[in-house]
Amino acid sequence: MRKLIVTILSTLDGYAAGEGGNVFVMPIDLGFDHYNLERMRAADTMLFGATSFHGARGYWPPLADDDSAPEVEREISRLHNTLEKVVISDSTSPEDIEPWGETTEIVRRADAAARVAELKAGEGADIVCFGSITAWNDLLAQGLVDELHLLVGPGIIGAGLPTFQHAVEAELTPVEVRPLPDSKLVALTYAVGAAAPA
């Protein structure tokens, strides 16, 4: 059975973005990129919500051949271009997924839990999700997330988009605490267990 692994950047006070969805208040650095690359190398499928998918689609494809980009970004770009992708969205159409049309599946939100459960039951490597706050919070509430990788930065911003959208009733077991090299981020890994008894 495959794992669904969520990797999310969070401030110390629990926000995944600033007011208005501004992600540039977050400490995005090469340590962040190297950690995401590590997760992508262990995966064969990426899971997205619509906003994160379109942001990635607008940024990553050309970097694969950009000699001025850091090598870590070029490899991330190559993996984005080749890994299977699942987009949970009611607004995305087949015309909206190029240049990743051959590797992208669109799943409507009402069908997301069933499709993710089907993917997890199949053969293959990890399924990884970056960003995509609404999508993975809904899947976490439905017991479909196996690991949470919180990349916590030292910022305290006081307001913005909360990292967690629902109470988490499942047991969270700490697995690893790792300061990232050449970064202000600390990676906190939790295994997500069965829902706690009522």
**The two structure tokens encoding residue 89:** 């969205």
Q: 136 is written with which tokens? A: 């993975």
Whole domain around residue 46: which residue ranges? 4-195
Q: What is the DSSP letter of 182?
A: T
Residue 153, judged by CB atoms within 10 A of its CB (0-12, 13-18, 19+), counts as: buried
Q: Which two tokens stand for residue 182?
A: 């050449």
What pLDDT is recorded for position 79?
Answer: 95
Domain count, the chain: 1
Distance, CA of 149 to CA of 7 (rounded, Å):
5
Confidence at residue 194, expressed as pLDDT on a 0 to 100 scale:
58
- Per-residue pLDDT of 43-61, as tens digits, reads 999 999 999 999 999 999 9
d(CA 115, CA 118): 5
Q: 10-residue block means of pLDDT along the chain (198 residues)?
A: 94 86 78 93 95 91 90 93 95 92 95 96 94 91 94 87 87 93 92 62
- Note the pLDDT tens digit of each residue in 95-108: 999 999 999 999 99
What end-to-end distance do the CA atoms of the chain give, in Å?
27
What pLDDT is attached to residue 75?
Answer: 93
> Where on the phi/psi map is residue 26: left (φ > 0), alpha (ψ -120 to 50), or beta?
beta
The CATH number covering residue 70 comes to 3.40.430.10
